[in-house]
Amino acid sequence: MEPLVIANKAFQSRLIVGTGKYKDGPETRAAIEAIEKGYTRYTAVAGIPEIRRAIVDRHAADFATNYAPDECVFTAGGKLALFNAIEVLVERGDEVVLPIPFWVSFKDIIQFAGGTPVLVHAKEEENFRITAGMIEAAVTDRTKAIILNTPSNPSGAVVSPEDLEAIVRLAHRRGIYLLLDECYIYLNFEGTSISGAQFQDCKEHLVVLGSLSKTYAMTGWRAGYALGPKPVIAAMGKLQSQSTSNTTSFVQYAAIAAVSGSQQCVADMRTEYIQLRDRMLGGLATIPGITCTVPQGAFYVYPNVSAFFGKPGAGSASALASRLLGEAHVVCVPGEAFGTDEHLRFSYATSAEVIDKGIERMRSFFGGLD
């Protein structure tokens, strides 16, 4: 059987999955031009002034925020922005509030910095919704930071504007840093996205973590950023100066082209993903035993597969994920990696045809479990 990858988010640059549009995005041309012009040397560690300006301008235009370029650091991917932020803010023994299910790297990065994750369980029956009340209940005198990722990887849950504002204000009031992972902010399927940074009176305790990976399908370019209070951004730059130094010089030019050019591709991609999500959910609904919440954003589904745990050789999400790969040639990530035991995460950042094929294989796999 030909392998079929449906958990692969590393689709091509500017390729709207399944359509082939935007294959050669402006970032590719900008990067080639930058190389041809010889922009291949060291740059300022936090990024050339033009990229920092372009990032804050994009954020201001989309979310009515008012960051200055020196409140922005450009990093080799959103993951490094997160890593550097946690490293400079979290000391041994500090608590970091983290909603479950969480993106895999959050917990490890907190622990690597010596922090203690304080896990807040979102309820599946409430579509994995995170509320301000849930976060507040987890805050103690030792809380240094709160991590919020909306829309969420893996659940696709979106924090409501009211809860987001309440969490931003809570963090500010208590002197706790809110690390707001906006990696999927442009893939919110429920109305208009807002950024917590628009509550400007609370900016002192807010660090926005952003990525070009998903918004512009630029996963391999390694382009991300953080926006935040000057001292935090300066410390992140200092840390970066002893690790990666600047982000690849010509990637910075590519990133300027991506964030400054027409943003129609972002809107088109969102429309495409809504269709793919519905196709995926429709397919999963045809598999007896699987239930699934409706993701409000990002590009993952997070179905509950615990109904199969009683079957031989299918006692856990990891066991099922491993058998799905080996027997059905379908890739997914087991829920244990995200802090829940009963789920599998599938990516639908692929074509409709691949989704249909994957669903067919899963139907026969799960149907044959006895």
User: By the criterion CB under 6 A, which residues form the site for ligand PLP?
Assistant: 77-79, 103, 149, 153, 181, 183, 211, 213, 219, 224
Q: How far is the CB of 149 from ligand PLP (least distance, A)?
A: 5
Which of residues 31 and 328 has its CB atom nearest to ligand PLP in the complex? Answer: 31
Q: How far is the CB of 80 from ligand PLP (least distance, A)?
A: 7
Which of residues 149 and 252 has its CB atom nearest to ligand PLP in the complex? Answer: 149
Which of residues 211 and 260 has its CB atom nearest to ligand PLP in the complex? Answer: 211
Which of residues 43 and 153 has its CB atom nearest to ligand PLP in the complex? Answer: 153
Specify whether the CB–CB gap between 369 and 308 falls below 8 A.
yes
Which of residues 171 and 349 has its CB atom nearest to ligand PLP in the complex? Answer: 349
Q: How far is the CB of 235 from ligand PLP (least distance, A)?
A: 20
- Whose CA is closest to 109, among 98, 100, 101, 120? 98
Q: How far is the CB of 287 from ligand PLP (least distance, A)?
A: 25
| C-alpha–C-alpha distance, residues 8 and 354, integer Å | 11
Specify whether the CB–CB gap between 209 and 78 falls below 8 A.
yes
Q: How far is the CB of 122 from ligand PLP (least distance, A)?
A: 15
DSSP letters of 294-357?
A: ---BTTEE--B-GGGTTSTT--SHHHHHHHIIIII-B--EEGGGGT-SSBEEEE--S-HHHHHH
Q: How far is the CB of 222 from ligand PLP (least distance, A)?
A: 7
Give the Å distances, CA to CA, from 169 to 11, 199, 205, 323: 37, 8, 9, 45
Coarse DSSP helix, strand, coil percentages of the chain, rounded to the nearest 5 percent:
45, 15, 40
SS3 9: coil
Which of residues 224 and 303 has its CB atom nearest to ligand PLP in the complex? Answer: 224
